[in-house]
Structure 1
């Protein structure tokens, strides 16, 4: 990956387009699950989303394998797709971007308050 690709994000665009091409080959119910997985995983992404590409690749691979094997989607993902995505991102305690922003805001406010009080 070149510096220019890193700055512009063109490498990510290429990867996500490849993911979407792969997902288009899935059966309809698997494509619907893919859309839900994407929606739930974005909350765990960093600013660029680069940390999600291996996770998304693995999730899409799982959907492709189970579709090829003819397994029931319910048996693979269960009833809770949000919980499935949380487990993929690092477990129930995985921090979302909101958690990181909230912590940063709290640190900044605490620093400002300590300067006023001191």
Structure 2
């Protein structure tokens, strides 16, 4: 990874977070909780994927439609997040593979 890649990544992250700051307060709070949860248990390709920007798109559409955030995702934020990443390889999967002694599990 070059310095240019790092700089570009920071620019994209700042633009993403600027979009988050424009969300209504209840959406912003739920997004931050989802982000925190996904960073802990989420997919290994979270930083490379479109999951977080997709959530912001979804929230922007919901807010524009006048819906409450819990109307969109339901009362259980963690369950909603788990459903989003159900087919993705998570850090927990990598850790479990390493405990089971699967060779090369750490590289995946």
Post-superposition offset of 1:14: 2.1
Indicate the RMSD between aligned Cα atoms, in angstroms. 2.4
Q: Find the aligned partners of 1:10 and 1:86 in 2 and give their Cα distance.
A: 31
Partner residue, 1:103: 97
> Aligned in 2, Cα 1:56/1:47: closer, same or farther, shift over 3 Å?
closer
User: Any gaps of 5 or more consecutive residues in structure 2?
Assistant: 104-108
Please tell me whether the aligned partners of residues 43 and 88 of structure 2 are also in contact (alpha carbons under 8 angstroms): no
TM-score normalised by length of structure 1: 0.72
> Aligned in 2, Cα 1:10/1:104: closer, same or farther, shift over 3 Å?
farther
Cα deviation 1:37-81 (Å, max 9, x = unaligned)? 101211213277223xx0111101001111111112111010111
| Structure 1 stretches of 4+ moved >4 Å | none
Larger radius of gyration: 1
The structure with more helix, counted as a fraction of residues: 1
1:56 aligns with 2:52: yes
User: Any gaps of 5 or more consecutive residues in structure 1?
Assistant: 110-118
Instruction: Give aligned pairs, total.
Output: 102
Q: Find the aligned partners of 1:4 and 1:49 in 2 and give their Cα distance.
A: 16
TM-score normalised by length of structure 2: 0.78
